[in-house]
Amino acid sequence: MEKLNQSVNTIFLFVLVFAGIYFASPFLIPVALAAVLSMVFIRLCNFIERKGVGRAYASLMCILLFVLSVGLIIGLLSIQLGSLAENLGGMEKRLTNMFESLKQWVNEAVGIKKDAQQKVIDQSTKGKSSGMILSFAAGFMGIMINTILVLVYMFLFLSMRGHIKKFILKLVPKKENADTTDVIQQTGQVAQKYLSGLAAMIVMLWIMYGIGFSIVGVKSALFFAVLCGLLEIVPFVGNLTGTSLTVLAVVAQGGDSKMIIGVLITYFLVQFIQTYILEPIVVGEQVNINPLFTIMAIILGELIWGVAGMVLAVPLIGMLKIICDSYPHLQPYGYLLGPENPRKPKTSVVDYLKKLFSKN
């Protein structure tokens, strides 16, 4: 009975925590993003500091490198969007023809005349254009403000990481400092290995999608390849979304059934290579979470924090599992989150390259 009460209290605590992070999402989302991203740059920051650079300057260099990387991706997408814009006129004409064909089918199948359909469409969209513009402007400003906050938080987390670590150690008895330090290192390594491996895998997906879409004949193939690769940040959902958008674009470009089949074949081939080759070698089994709770974490993350929650779900639940495994009364929950047949994590490509260069 005592163990049952303890389990109920723990579940009740989780409910309160989830309710708190839901209502505090405007504050917590930038902090969580910055914390996870800063963990990725800890190794690089330590490397720069060993060269005699101060911690503040080393942290600033890591932030500048991150901004430069994001800027290069945005620039690449902008160039491809320019070439895609040249075909917008033809795509708009084809979509209009498809829409007229759809209205004709509704007229023949249901008996609703085209004029009545158009009247319903006009009423539903009337007065919404200005609201959409204002919503877009507000959303864009929110993204810009949150981006600046994330960069500022990243710099502060990197430059004050020693101070934060000492604070955590002061919360536990001195005899548990060694174990707590080990937990801190393991949780940091989850984000480092998972996100760095994911970044390497996304680059490989860009190459494979780019080659496949180019062979199929998709216009602006590089744009859709980069888009599909970036959406892989969200497991299970991103790949389907990227491929669906590519298929819709092919239809709007006037592509025939052979081109659509080619896009789908490319998708299945890339997914096969990603699942059975890239993920085990490049990413490795660093998070060590079973598929059921991975999907549940992604869905719960979307409900609580939207897209940011979907992106952060996997590394955060991986950190949660490490914390649960480290404390006896939470170990049953760590077991529940883990795979049915736990295996020793495979060495990721990041660790392999690190060992290779350290030998030299």
Give the pLDDT means over successive 10-residue stretches in the chain (360 positions).
Answer: 69 80 88 90 90 91 92 79 61 64 66 63 54 60 84 93 88 80 82 79 88 85 84 74 81 77 89 76 63 83 85 85 84 82 53 49
- pLDDT at site 65: 92
CB 326 within 8 A of CB 179: yes
Whole-number Cα distances in Å, 74 to 2, 243, 245: 55, 20, 19
**How many CB atoms are located within 10 Å of the residue 143 CB?**
10
- pLDDT at site 63: 94
Considering the entire predicted model, what is its pTM?
0.72
For residue 338, give the 3-state DSSP assignment.
coil
Residues belonging to the chain: 360
- pLDDT at site 125: 54
Name every residue whose Cβ is closer than 8 Å to that of residue 195 and which is 6 or more positions away in sequence.
Answer: 36, 37, 39, 40, 315
**Which contacts (CB < 8 Å, 24+ apart) does range 297-302 have?**
298/234, 298/235, 298/236, 298/237, 300/18
Distance, C-alpha 205 to centroid of its chain: 15
In one-letter notation, the amino acid at residue 321 is: K
Angle, CA 295 vertex, CA 289 and CA 298 arms, to 5°:
100
Which contiguous run of DSSP H or E holds residue 175? none
- pLDDT at site 16: 85
Give the DSSP letter of residue 172.
S
Distance, C-alpha 119 to centroid of its chain: 40
Which contiguous run of DSSP H or E holds residue 262? helix 257-273
- pLDDT at site 103: 66
- pLDDT at site 357: 46
CB 318 within 8 A of CB 288: yes
- pLDDT at site 360: 45
- pLDDT at site 249: 79
> Phi-psi bin for 343: left (phi > 0), alpha (psi -120 to 50), beta?
beta
